Amino acid sequence: MKGTFPVEKFREIQTPFYYYDTNLLRNTLNEVNREAGKYENFHVHYAVKANANDKVLNIIREAGLGADCVSGGEINAAIKAGFSTDKIVYAGVGKSDWEINLGLDNNIFCFNVESVPELQVINELAAAKNKIASVAFRINPNVGAHTHANITTGLAENKFGISMEDMDKVIDMAQNMPNVRFIGLHFHIGSQILDMGDFVALCNRINELQDKLAKRHIIVDHINVGGGLGIDYQHPNRQSIPDFASYFECYNKHLKRHSKQTIHFELGRSIVGQCGSLITKVLYVKQGTFKQFAIVDAGMTDLIRPALYQAYHKIENITSEMACETYDIVGPICESSDVFAKAIDLNKVQRNDLIAIRSAGAYGEIMASGYNCRTLPKGFISEELL
């Protein structure tokens, strides 16, 4: 089955562009709230890095989620969209002074600190403002995730977080610093994780670390388990809303919680991934020596995931019902890696057909670039095109 798209409206818009189905987005958010709401003190933050389109952000803010930011730009985008600053968490291995100051000025909920030198700088900058910064330590749990190597973050070899061995030392340091308040631990093992066993492994590791801390009579108020829940790229229509029930249940079951402890989640892809498609127009159908190419007007500058991670996105010809033929779908960029898919079957393609590249709501529009002096793609939400 193809997705349902307002094709006539699409004909009036300059391609390529992103299209966001806000019914699906709202239903997804309702499901997140319903499933997380079953458990006391589960707080969900939206990972702004997945998609910072202002219309999308507004809808997510309306649903009451917090914001997980990794830069000053994201903090500004979240504030502009109306996220309350006491629900903003701020992670990242390389926070600049102006970004830390922005967080301090806005009294954000928590800095997720990734190194000792960063902790020292936050303490100094907070002192200069006579403030106390709330900090959590991002601990690298050395837990692998069964996902693409480029999006695995929780292994000792990755640049992220503070090693488990250093955890006690940095907590001691923080407790002796006048301008930081140590409030929690933060983790994130990777993205596009579909095997709940990976999250169970994270829970087990967090339990171990908490037991270790409890021996020192330290019980943190907040545990942030990051994000990472994956989506079904193969079948965007089959399970368009990810299995949030199993996800939250998994944490409720496997994470040992101390009384009143709050559990935070930072979900990006699972919230916005399926609601977005990249809509592109066919420029030419070219017969190669061994294959035929459908050359479209979107390129890796608009959606880099296939080129960067060999990611699969389902592709549909939304303006043809003719018998299927086999095509390589390629863009106009001067790079051999500017290929969206190889040897896929599509309803016969002709010049000016519209193609939907599905499941592109997360890490699509936001990762677009201006390489080849291209214009950044615009994003439209479905309710604008009624």
Residue from 123, 192, 210, 277 that binds ligand LLP (CB under 6 A)?
192
From the list 165-173, 233-241, 261-269, 339-347, the region that binds ligand LLP by CB under 6 A is 261-269
According to the binding rule CB under 6 A, does residue 328 interact with ligand LLP?
no
Q: Dihedral sign, CA of 274, 279, 285, 287?
A: negative
According to the binding rule CB under 6 A, does residue 161 interact with ligand LLP?
no
Q: How far apart are CA 245 and CA 29, in angstroms?
A: 13
First-to-last CA distance in the chain? 22
Q: How many residues bind ligand LLP (CB under 6 A)?
A: 23
Residue from 269, 281, 313, 314 that binds ligand LLP (CB under 6 A)?
269
Find the shortest distance in angstroms from Cβ 268 to ligand LLP: 3
Find the shortest distance in angstroms from Cβ 366 to ligand LLP: 9
According to the binding rule CB under 6 A, does residue 268 interact with ligand LLP?
yes
Helix 167-175 to helix 196-215 angle, to the nearest 10 degrees?
A: 50
| CB burial of residue 332 (10 Å; 0-12, 13-18, 19+) | middle
According to the binding rule CB under 6 A, does residue 108 interact with ligand LLP?
no
According to the binding rule CB under 6 A, does residue 91 interact with ligand LLP?
yes
330 contacts 291 by C-beta, under 8 angstroms:
no
191 vs 210, beta carbon nearer ligand LLP: 191
At residue 181, the 3 state secondary structure works out as strand
According to the binding rule CB under 6 A, does residue 28 interact with ligand LLP?
no
Binding map of ligand LLP across residues 288-327, x = CB under 6 A, - = no contact:
-----------------x---x------------------
182 vs 265, beta carbon nearer ligand LLP: 265
According to the binding rule CB under 6 A, does residue 227 interact with ligand LLP?
yes
Find the shortest distance in angstroms from Cβ 151 to ligand LLP: 5
Q: How far apart are CA 316 and CA 128, in angstroms?
A: 56
From the list 57-65, 99-107, 220-228, 340-348, the region that binds ligand LLP by CB under 6 A is 220-228
| Side-chain half-sphere exposure of 32, counting CA atoms within 13 A | 26
Helix 244-254 to helix 196-215 angle, to the nearest 10 degrees?
A: 30
Buried b (16+ CB within 10 A) or exposed e, 84-110: ebebbbbbbeebeeebbbbbbebebbb
From the list 6-14, 74-82, 117-125, 222-230, the region that binds ligand LLP by CB under 6 A is 222-230
Let me know the angle formed at the C-alpha of 67 by 145 and 105, rounded to the nearest 5 degrees. Answer: 125
Whether cis (ω within 30° of 0) applies to the bond prior to 6 is no
Q: What radius of gyration, in Å, describes the C-alpha atoms of the chain?
A: 22
77 vs 295, beta carbon nearer ligand LLP: 77
Residue numbers at the binding site for ligand LLP (CB under 6 A): 47, 49-50, 68, 91, 151, 153, 188, 191-192, 226-229, 266-270, 305, 309, 362-363
